[in-house]
Structure formats: structure tokens, C-alpha cells
Amino acid sequence: MDEDKVFKALADPSRRRLLDLLFEQNGQSLGQLCEHLDMARQSATQHLEILEAANLVSSIKQGRVRLHYINPVPIHEVYERWVRKFERERLSLLHELKTQLEGE
Amino acid sequence: MDEDKVFKALADPSRRRLLDLLFEQNGQSLGQLCEHLDMARQSATQHLEILEAANLVSSIKQGRVRLHYINPVPIHEVYERWVRKFERERLSLLHELKTQLEGE
DNA sequence: TTGACATGCAGGCATATACCTGCACAATAG
DNA sequence: CTATTGTGCAGGTATATGCCTGCATGTCAA
């Protein structure tokens, strides 16, 4: 997994919206997705390409439509590799910060 | 929490590195952090400002140094609000995708 | 006070990003 | 076949981003 691509892909609200839309209904075409997206079709295409490059979305051409499927695995990996360690220390760090502040 | 600021703050590798450094040792000064960062001090300052705006880092001026403290709460909130629902459906979606692909 | 050190602030530059228009191609319906 | 529909591809532009230099400010030690 390319961690950086995943984070950069998630950095844009339009792309998070696309993932939300695919989460609501998996396997949508470009046209379907655009109906919810107040932007030109070509812009949505570029966003979907970025999501695909990050392996967050897979697409399959079926006849003349291209269907898009969400892939939650990279998000899970980001959580595993990156969020969890912070989570683990969350309360103790908060306590530490509080102590430091009180020591001013 | 401003979800977009958190995602955008996390999108840059230098900023993730800063969070890693603060995770290793909390309460470091700008100078200390720069020693690990192959960039000008002013660039690091800008990254830290973005992290502060996202509430991922808090800083306190203590004499002539400014100390920086990590705040894992927004990361946790991103996980709660955004990652968890994908996590919840992860296996079932994978199964669904597999089924669709086999149907080609 | 004065020199040294850590940081703050202003601005400038190159690249990346997000958006668009215009045209081309492929598949299906009639 | 032909028109329609859905998508692919090539660019062009405005803004955002990340990096820098130069100078100003503030704090501590001697």
C-alpha cells in the first residue's frame, strides 16, 4: 500500500463524497456518481482515477459503462499502521499534557 | 472538529513525520523537530501551523522556545466518524466484489 | 547592556491540484 | 446503419501548496 497516495486521496472532500456515495450503493457508474456531484463529469473521472491509484476504488468496464467499487482495505491499513498507535496512547498523552500545563 | 482540515493536515508526509516525532517524544521545540526534517525552519513552522489549525498539535511558548504537543483526539474522531463504518462492512463488501467479478 | 540564540513575520517562486472546454471513440437501441 | 448515450483523452487556467530568503522580534546568559 502506498500510504501517501491513500492520505492524499482522502484529503479532498469530493473524493470523500465519492467514497460515501459508493458506500451507500456499491458498483455505480460514472454517470450515476456525477448526478450527486455538482461538477463536470471529467472532473469526477480525475477524482476516481486518484481513488483507483490509491487502491480505494476498483472499476470494471461493463459494456459502455464503467462500474466503480469501493475497497476499504487501504483505509483499514492506514488505521492499523498509523491511527492505532496514537489511539493506544491517547488517554495517557492527554494526561501528560494536562500535567505539563498545570506545571506552568 | 473540522474534518477537512484534519484530512488535509494528514495528507503531507512532512506533517505525518512531525506527528511521528512528537509521538516519539512529546513537547519538542521547533528547533528540535527541525533537526530531523531536512527543510528550512520556516517550512516546518508552516507545517506546524497547519497541524495546529487541525487541532492535531498544541503549542505553548515557554521563554524563548515554543514547545509542541501532539493531540490524538482528531485522529480518533476521524476514525470514529469515517473509518469505522467502512471497517464494519469491509469483509461483506469484499465478498460482494468477489461475487461480482466472478459473474463477469 | 550586549551578544547569541530561538522564533515570528513578510514575500516570492515553482510545482501540484482541481476545475473546466472541446473533441474522439465505443456500445447499444431502433 | 445511424443516432444516442456513456465514457476516454488532450489540453488550458486559476488557485493552493510547499519551499525558500531576508529581516524583525523577543529571551537568556554573561
Q: What is the pLDDT of residues A43-71, one digit of tens each?
A: 999 999 999 999 999 999 999 999 999 98
B60 vs A77, higher pLDDT: B60
Count of structural domains, chain A: 1
Residues of chain B scoring pLDDT < 70 = 87-104
In strand D, which positions have an atom below 7 A from any protein CB? 5-11, 17-22, 26-28
* Pairs of residues, one from chain A and one from chain B, whose beta carbons lie less than 8 Å apart: 94
Q: Which of A10, A29, A62 to mutate against chain B (most B CBs within 10 Å)?
A: A10
B103 CB-contact burial (10 Å; exposed 0-12 / middle 13-18 / buried 19+): exposed
Distances B4 to A7, A36, A63, B88 between C-alpha atoms, Å: 12, 19, 36, 22
- Quickly give A63 CA vs C30 C1' distance in Å: 18
Q: From the Cβ of A50, is strand C under 7 Å away?
A: yes
Q: Are A56 and A6 in contact (CB under 8 A)?
A: yes
Instruction: Give the residue numbers spanning the domain of B86.
Output: 3-102
For residue B57, the Cα-to-chain-centroid distance in whole angstroms is 9
- Contact state of B76 with A70 under an 8 Å Cβ cutoff: no
CATH code for position B66: 1.10.10.10
Residues written for chain A: 104
Q: Are A66 and A30 in contact (CB under 8 A)?
A: yes
- Quickly give B75 CA vs C6 C1' distance in Å: 30
- Contact state of B79 with A60 under an 8 Å Cβ cutoff: no
pLDDT of res. A72: 83
pLDDT of res. A103: 47
Q: Could you tell me what percent of chain B has a pLDDT over 70?
A: 82
Whether A65 and chain B come into contact, CB under 8 Å, resolves to no
pLDDT of res. A91: 53
Strand partners, B65: B62
Whether A53 and chain B come into contact, CB under 8 Å, resolves to no
pLDDT above 90 (res A93): no
